[in-house]
A and B are shown apart, each in its own frame.
Chain A
């Protein structure tokens, strides 16, 4: 069941003209023959696997979004079906990797650590943003529809362009800054336990962009910072070691026109966050902080 588009004909005709003009050496012919046989074997194996998977009782049906701008026959987006033998504890990422390794090596998706740390494999699974490596197949209804993240341009198959998301993340200056250094040169910048507890959840962000993709407001307003970036701002604005002056600077960033005030508390981001960060809560708290810093009674 290969979903590969058949080899372009102009390539083979090129080979044919090559053969006419220059007589191929014996080695070339042998290598060509070997390649051809390997391809045949691979196709045979894939067909066998597909047959076995379709016949087996415990298989899951995967419908995967496919798009490849570089291959003529794949420029029109489509869905490919893969039958994957189910194993206990199988995740969506496992199934995708099985599909890629067994059926179609051109199936493209990002993944790295496979344990919900790197944040590369956020996808749109059965209509909701999920981290593929953290989503159990057994919890999903079949057929499982796997699509790239919505509201982001698709580069290829399940890979989306993350540039805009990273731009928003960098816009809030997601790094520790302070101008209140301790007296001694070698003194540590200590954080109280309570303060650490306060920012604890917000430090768990893995930049997977699931929240940004789920946010209805971010979809309509491309300049909106988005839940992840605001959460990053929260992590540092609430860090007491940064000092008042830096906190004011941070509040100025997040209370811009396309900052916290765009949030309309739909809770979509909080629902999809694979790290269970209470994003809406953090955004709301920053809204209150922004109001408090602007209210003056005189």
Chain B
């Protein structure tokens, strides 16, 4: 038998319907991790407008006319930003909860119920996200 057949990576994303809980947890953790890394850059960009704003005069600061306040206010006026903030919270909460789950996995605690803890972190993420909607969307419309 000289030849053999390489079917390549069968276990790709085309098989997502067959993924088990642990696999989903891994995918979501990677995804949310990258989203958070991306967010970090915009976060720093927005926050660094505080550097020029720090040199502004007292009166300008009092009136809220400095660069930093203006940037924040402009951003918060956009509906898209408000919705993205809800998404950001969801992503961060899931990453935290699943991170805790992974910590327990690393410590060897409750590995038999790892799927349940994944579902729990999903449900909790959903609940917290829904509860946060009024706060983030208030006054956006």
Contacts and interface: CB of A to CB of B under 8 A. Distances in A.
Interface of A: 67, 69-70, 75, 77, 124, 126-128, 147-148, 150-151, 153-156, 161, 214, 216, 219-220, 264-268, 270-271, 278, 280-281, 284-285, 287-288
Interface in B86-112: 102, 105-108, 111-112
B58 interface: no
B80 to A, nearest CB: 34
Contacts of A284: 105-106, 108, 111
A267 B21 contact: yes
Contact of A150 (B5, B11, B17, B114): B11
A271 B21 CA distance: 9
Given A150-B10, A161-B4, A214-B11, A278 B106 contact: no
Interface residues of B, number: 28
A73 to B, nearest CB: 15
Nearest to A217: B26
Interface in B1-56: 1-7, 9-11, 15, 17-18, 20-23, 25-26
A226 to B, nearest CB: 14
B15 A127 contact: yes
B20 A124 contact: no
Nearest to B10: A150
B105 A77 contact: no
A268 B108 contact: no
A113 B137 CA distance: 64
A67 B108 CA distance: 43
Given A216-B11, A280-B111, A154 B1 contact: no
Q: Which 4 A-B pairs have the closest CB atoms?
A: A267-B22, A150-B10, A69-B3, A153-B4
Interface of B: 1-7, 9-11, 15, 17-18, 20-23, 25-26, 102, 105-108, 111-112, 114-115
A69 B111 contact: no
Contacts of B115: 267
Contact of A267 (B15, B17, B18, B20): B20
Chain B CB count within 10 A is highest, among A128, A147, A270, A285, for A270
Contacts of B102: 265
B12 to A, nearest CB: 9
Nearest to B102: A265
B11 A151 contact: yes
Given A151-B10, A216-B11, A284-B111, A266 B5 contact: no
Contacts of A67: 5
A109 to B, nearest CB: 15
B11 to A, nearest CB: 5
B31 to A, nearest CB: 14
Contacts of B9: 150-151, 219-220
Contacts of B11: 150-151, 214, 216, 219
Given A151-B11, A278-B112, A281-B108, A266 B6 contact: no
